[in-house]
Amino acid sequence: MIKIDVDMKKCQHYGQCVFEAPEVFQLDGDDKLQYKAEAPDEMLADLEAAVDVCPMQAISLRQE
């Protein structure tokens, strides 16, 4: 399982992560980021892509 953390103090809600891993990241009706705190290991490539495209580098991953 992959643990996902978004530093909401850094996040500016650009939504680039949504394009890379829409199963995990979504923008709500107010364009604020919502995300799941964990995802299956099979999603690692998509999650790493989301980390890479985040302009604020607010996303971190941890495998357990």
pTM for the model: 0.93
Give just the sign of the alpha carbon dihedral 47, 51, 52, 54.
positive
**What is the predicted pLDDT for the residue at 64?**
86
Which residue range is the domain that position 52 belongs to?
A: 2-63
- What's the CATH code of the domain at 21? 3.30.70.20
Given a cut of 90, whether residue 5 has pLDDT beyond it is yes
Q: Is 14 exposed, middle or buried (0-12, 13-18, 19+ CB in 10 A)?
A: middle
**Using one digit for the tens of pLDDT, what is the confidence trace for 6-63?**
999 999 999 999 999 999 999 999 999 999 999 999 999 999 999 999 999 999 999 9
As for how many domains the chain has, the answer is 1
